[in-house]
Chain A
């Protein structure tokens, strides 16, 4: 018995000693190591020392494996035709980029391939391919969602069928989308006779790149839809529309046959030829005057352009040339602007105009301005027009000066900021 205990103690002490050594080894090692954090795998190293020394660990074994498998893949012979080989080479490049983990689409159509080839630089190609890859990914995701939905619907139907069809007594037949469409078209037709015109100026074909044009058409589609669904729609005019121009082509691509049945007026003529000049007001963010209230006898013009390259003064120049009145939305007067350009998308514009036309309430209308662009509504905006007090001017100066300074990258020295705010402010001193 005694012997046993002594033996136990001995082994215990031995264990303790061992653990002490174990703990110390990494500590000593740490002193010689570089200061950055590293994974210390003492146990692994120990194992290696026991089993295989680093020399014995065959580091090139993967090469032999790779070479063996390499023999299996057959080499395709390259095609002869030079034009064909160029597009084939581009296709192969895209594939290799995909293998290399770059964001490129899995499948390329011929049309997309020619676009890729025509792009001038490597970065342009990469950007376009990335765009296609994202598009492809989104498409796949929606398809998957649809599939799940369909299956669920099927399941639900089966369940209902089990219960048997229950007949109900109702006042109306089911109100189908078709009936809605008829109603909306009635309203649109009515607005074509008696509604207030709203003009989209389609004279910006040459200023837009392909992507911008696509975006413009998407926005116009949304505009038309929103207008049709509203209580009192505008009579939409698409002026300066060149037949067979890129606007027209893109519209046909998107609308298909419905393009000819749309209840809007499309014309090659300019708006100055259709309407009296003194009724026209060109809406542009660069305008010096503010749209204080919506007037029902004026005809507003919106330039249908998406400019991602920020071409300032594009639509203002058009208005100046024709000597039209211009106006901008009262964004600064109602909102505490935060980031982003003051030019809004076309569908936001039409939503704002429709709301302000129906209600006359700017607060309500400007809810369509994206939330990310502003920090909220200013408290009592009406007062600003009533009393042009000095305190207001000072306040805006203090509020906006430093914020703008950080965001603006103008070519002037620090004083330039003052000046540009001066440029923005002079209309306040006008009346």
Chain B
């Protein structure tokens, strides 16, 4: 008990200390003016920022660009790919060695698999020694499957089973089929199909899927469509099933069949696999016509509309497809976009992160209906409180920054909470920002961590609204920010994922995420009374996009783990030379 308490104390200490180097992950190379520019408001300039700004002017423009280029790669915000895994890693390292040990121990598996086909007697001997005698054949076949053993071994096992029981069970046949598909023994797959068709009236979905992927590699790929139909009768087929057929249709130059299937997938809300899309680009090189180009464009817009980011393999395929177009000279480069939103290769300005007016109105309504009211207004607040808040906001609009008081106050593990909040508020207020601080009523009660004097001072600097102690403050934060207009930002470290989940459909969720990336300020560094630094808000939207002679496609790097609330950093820039 005592030891545990001590350990948890140590952990806390570590966490407190650990947060400092984590914050310094933002490279020192980065001139503060860059950070400032991207903080969107020029009012944020602190004295030291100004100083470095003056220095900056002396440097030539070319130099500036090189600095930019160096920086864009490493400057990261909460939303860039890999940020979450980095955070998790540092947390893990702080947790100590125990975790690492657990992961190394796991993979010790015994695979006692014969390497050569055995005869019946040897199998008998093996079975006698085996642990599970009733399911010996099936479990052995599973082992063969996972060890990618030679097919002859599996065949000899089947011979043994038939000799012993006179027949082969469905489960064993299925496993054998999986083995054949895995190792591309296509004649065997066809044989098995004849056998299973005669023996069983219907097959299960797993068998159909295996036959689809087996048949698709042979000349009889058209029959796979029949299997797909029989799956459709029972359940929705998986994207893999569709993908297998589409790929083989494209390989046999039947673009229309592939296209119809892709459209069908879209109508069923299935997301095509990466390799499916990749084949469209890979096979487009051999036969180029306008119709096909239209299809490719459709796919690219599909990626855009569904906010799908291609992986590195697909990116290369897209790249080479564009470069293979006869006549037009498309040139592609892999790059990172400057913080100003400009592509360093072709100097095009990327799409802004700001929402259009209709989108903005739609999001505003959705936030009100889905996040704040939801099915029951009483869940997050009360109607009276909501009414009160709405009139309050109406009378005080517009704000420049809306601050999540409780989130900001807890930014540093040590220190007085009201003190931290006061620091942040006064920092922002000194830059002539209209502020709104959201909090809960218990903050006003005057306790050890919430000093009454501090709170009074905060109220001098900013408008404050205190919700009931059992109400949620995040919905109010979103409401106030959205109603203040497009220029208004909010300050919180919360990623708002639970609120995003309240939204009804995928499209509004995407809108919300885009708005969040453009409007969320995150304190990246805070030392009491020393420095305060905000994470960079990107000016451009990370999405597949085109202008009349360029395409910009963000893609996922290999080896970088990207969370759902992060966006890739790397881009493919495609430009047409005339």
Which residues of chain A have C-beta atoms less than 8 A from B255's C-beta? none
- Supposing A62-B155, A429-B442 touch, asked if A100 and B116 sit within 8 A by C-beta, the answer is no
- Supposing A45-B116, A414-B91, A419-B406 touch, asked if A76 and B201 sit within 8 A by C-beta, the answer is yes
- Supposing A411-B498, A413-B78, A419-B410 touch, asked if A67 and B195 sit within 8 A by C-beta, the answer is yes
Least Cβ–Cβ distance between B27 and chain A, in angstroms: 20
B58 in the interface (beta carbon within 8 A): no
B168 in the interface (beta carbon within 8 A): yes
A360 in the interface (beta carbon within 8 A): no
- Supposing A62-B158, A96-B200 touch, asked if A39 and B114 sit within 8 A by C-beta, the answer is yes
Beta-carbon nearest neighbor of B6 in chain A? A398
B111 in the interface (beta carbon within 8 A): yes
Q: How many Å lie between the Cα of A321 and that of B379 in the bound state? A: 9
B101 in the interface (beta carbon within 8 A): no
Q: How many Å lie between the Cα of A57 and that of B157 in the bound state? A: 12
| Chain A contacts with B in 31-64, Cβ cutoff 8 A | 36-39, 41, 44-45, 47-48, 51-52, 54, 57-63
9 CB-based A-B contacts, threshold 8 Å: A54-B117, A62-B159, A62-B168, A66-B168, A89-B202, A99-B170, A101-B138, A101-B171, A314-B379
- Cβ–Cβ contact B155 & A99, under 8 A: no
A93 in the interface (beta carbon within 8 A): yes
- Cβ–Cβ contact B497 & A411, under 8 A: yes
Q: C-beta contact mask, B74-103 vs A, less than 8 Å → 1, else 0?
A: 000010000000010001000100000000
Segment of A13-21, A165-173, A262-270, A399-407 engaged in the interface with chain B: A399-407
A412 in the interface (beta carbon within 8 A): yes
Least Cβ–Cβ distance between B524 and chain A, in angstroms: 10
- Cβ–Cβ contact B170 & A96, under 8 A: yes
- Cβ–Cβ contact B495 & A93, under 8 A: no
The interface size of chain A toward B, counting residues with CB under 8 Å, comes to 73
Beta-carbon nearest neighbor of B234 in chain A? A93
Which residues of chain A have C-beta atoms less than 8 A from B235's C-beta? 121-122, 125
- Cβ–Cβ contact B162 & A66, under 8 A: yes
Q: C-beta contact mask, B481-509 vs A, less than 8 Å → 1, else 0?
A: 00000000000011111100000000000
Q: C-beta contact mask, B156-177 vs A, less than 8 Å → 1, else 0?
A: 1011011000111111001000
- Cβ–Cβ contact A426 & B442, under 8 A: yes
Which of B19, B110, B382, B496 is the one whose CB lies under 8 Å from A37?
Answer: B110
A92 in the interface (beta carbon within 8 A): yes
- Cβ–Cβ contact B493 & A401, under 8 A: no
Q: C-beta contact mask, A68-97 vs B, less than 8 Å → 1, else 0?
A: 011101011010000000100110110011
Beta-carbon nearest neighbor of A412 in chain B? B494
Question: Which of A37, A60, A99 has the largest count of B CB atoms less than 10 A from its CB?
Answer: A99
Which of A59, A320, A406, A413 is the one whose CB lies under 8 Å from B495?
Answer: A413
- Supposing A37-B111, A62-B162 touch, asked if A412 and B495 sit within 8 A by C-beta, the answer is yes
Which residues of chain A have C-beta atoms less than 8 A from B156's C-beta? 57, 59
- Supposing A58-B159, A59-B156, A413-B78 touch, asked if A75 and B201 sit within 8 A by C-beta, the answer is yes
A415 in the interface (beta carbon within 8 A): yes
Least Cβ–Cβ distance between A108 and chain B, in angstroms: 14
- Cβ–Cβ contact B494 & A86, under 8 A: no
- Cβ–Cβ contact B191 & A63, under 8 A: yes
- Cβ–Cβ contact B234 & A416, under 8 A: no
- Cβ–Cβ contact B379 & A419, under 8 A: no
Which residues of chain B have C-beta atoms less than 8 A from A406's C-beta? 95
Least Cβ–Cβ distance between A269 and chain B, in angstroms: 21
- Cβ–Cβ contact A415 & B493, under 8 A: yes
- Cβ–Cβ contact B8 & A90, under 8 A: no
B33 in the interface (beta carbon within 8 A): no
Q: How many Å lie between the Cα of A267 and that of B502 in the bound state? A: 34
Which of A36, A96, A121 is the one whose CB lies under 8 Å from B202?
Answer: A96
B411 in the interface (beta carbon within 8 A): yes
Which of B117, B168, B493 is the one whose CB lies under 8 Å from A57?
Answer: B117
Q: C-beta contact mask, B104-132 vs A, less than 8 Å → 1, else 0?
A: 00000011111111110010000000000
Which residues of chain B have C-beta atoms less than 8 A from A205's C-beta? none
- Supposing A411-B494, A429-B445 touch, asked if A401 and B159 sit within 8 A by C-beta, the answer is no
Q: C-beta contact mask, A285-325 vs B, less than 8 Å → 1, else 0?
A: 01010000000000000000000000011101110110000
A332 in the interface (beta carbon within 8 A): no
- Cβ–Cβ contact A69 & B166, under 8 A: yes
B329 in the interface (beta carbon within 8 A): no
B11 in the interface (beta carbon within 8 A): yes
- Cβ–Cβ contact A415 & B407, under 8 A: yes
- Supposing A41-B118, A313-B380 touch, asked if A96 and B8 sit within 8 A by C-beta, the answer is no
- Cβ–Cβ contact A401 & B470, under 8 A: no
Beta-carbon nearest neighbor of B472 in chain A? A313
Beta-carbon nearest neighbor of A93 in chain B? B234
B432 in the interface (beta carbon within 8 A): no
- Cβ–Cβ contact B236 & A402, under 8 A: no
Q: How many Å lie between the Cα of A337 and that of B448 in the bound state? A: 27
B308 in the interface (beta carbon within 8 A): no
Q: How many Å lie between the Cα of A288 and that of B470 in the bound state? A: 7
Q: How many Å lie between the Cα of A390 and that of B11 in the bound state? A: 21
Q: How many Å lie between the Cα of A415 and that of B152 in the bound state? A: 59
B199 in the interface (beta carbon within 8 A): yes
Beta-carbon nearest neighbor of B522 in chain A? A413
Q: How many Å lie between the Cα of A92 and that of B166 in the bound state? A: 24
A422 in the interface (beta carbon within 8 A): yes
Least Cβ–Cβ distance between B505 and chain A, in angstroms: 17
- Cβ–Cβ contact B199 & A100, under 8 A: no
Which residues of chain A have C-beta atoms less than 8 A from B407's C-beta? 412, 415-416, 419
B15 in the interface (beta carbon within 8 A): yes
Which residues of chain B have C-beta atoms less than 8 A from A76's C-beta? 201
B204 in the interface (beta carbon within 8 A): yes
* 10 tightest Cβ-Cβ pairs between the two chains A and B: A411-B497, A317-B378, A96-B204, A99-B170, A59-B155, A62-B162, A122-B235, A101-B171, A418-B410, A62-B158
Q: C-beta contact mask, B192-216 vs A, less than 8 Å → 1, else 0?
A: 0001001111111111000000000
Which residues of chain B have C-beta atoms less than 8 A from A314's C-beta? 379
A341 in the interface (beta carbon within 8 A): no
- Cβ–Cβ contact B111 & A36, under 8 A: yes
Q: How many Å lie between the Cα of A302 and that of B234 in the bound state? A: 42
Q: How many Å lie between the Cα of A403 and that of B11 in the bound state? A: 10
Which residues of chain A have C-beta atoms less than 8 A from B155's C-beta? 59-60, 62
Beta-carbon nearest neighbor of A313 in chain B? B379
Give 8 new A-B contacts, CB below 8 A, not counting A92-B202, A99-B171, A411-B498: A38-B112, A41-B114, A52-B119, A63-B191, A90-B234, A317-B379, A320-B378, A320-B470
Which of B91, B411, B469, B493 is the one whose CB lies under 8 Å from A288?
Answer: B469
Least Cβ–Cβ distance between B15 and chain A, in angstroms: 7
Q: How many Å lie between the Cα of A288 and that of B469 in the bound state? A: 9
Q: C-beta contact mask, A183-218 vs B, less than 8 Å → 1, else 0?
A: 000000000000000000000000000000000000
Least Cβ–Cβ distance between A343 and chain B, in angstroms: 15
Which of B9, B15, B202, B469 is the one whose CB lies under 8 Å from A426?
Answer: B469
Which of B159, B171, B201, B379 is the one whose CB lies under 8 Å from A92?
Answer: B201
- Cβ–Cβ contact A63 & B195, under 8 A: yes
Beta-carbon nearest neighbor of B159 in chain A? A62
A274 in the interface (beta carbon within 8 A): no
Q: How many Å lie between the Cα of A39 and that of B406 in the bound state? A: 63
- Cβ–Cβ contact A414 & B114, under 8 A: no
Which residues of chain B have C-beta atoms less than 8 A from A71's C-beta? 198
B73 in the interface (beta carbon within 8 A): no
Q: How many Å lie between the Cα of A122 and that of B205 in the bound state? A: 10
- Cβ–Cβ contact A65 & B166, under 8 A: yes
Question: Which of B376, B382, B448 has the largest count of A CB atoms less than 10 A from its CB?
Answer: B376
Which residues of chain A have C-beta atoms less than 8 A from B497's C-beta? 411
Which residues of chain A have C-beta atoms less than 8 A from B411's C-beta? 415
- Cβ–Cβ contact A96 & B167, under 8 A: no
Which residues of chain A have C-beta atoms less than 8 A from B447's C-beta? 429
Q: C-beta contact mask, B225-244 vs A, less than 8 Å → 1, else 0?
A: 00000000111100000000
B5 in the interface (beta carbon within 8 A): yes
- Cβ–Cβ contact B205 & A62, under 8 A: no
Beta-carbon nearest neighbor of B152 in chain A? A59
- Cβ–Cβ contact B8 & A93, under 8 A: no
B12 in the interface (beta carbon within 8 A): yes
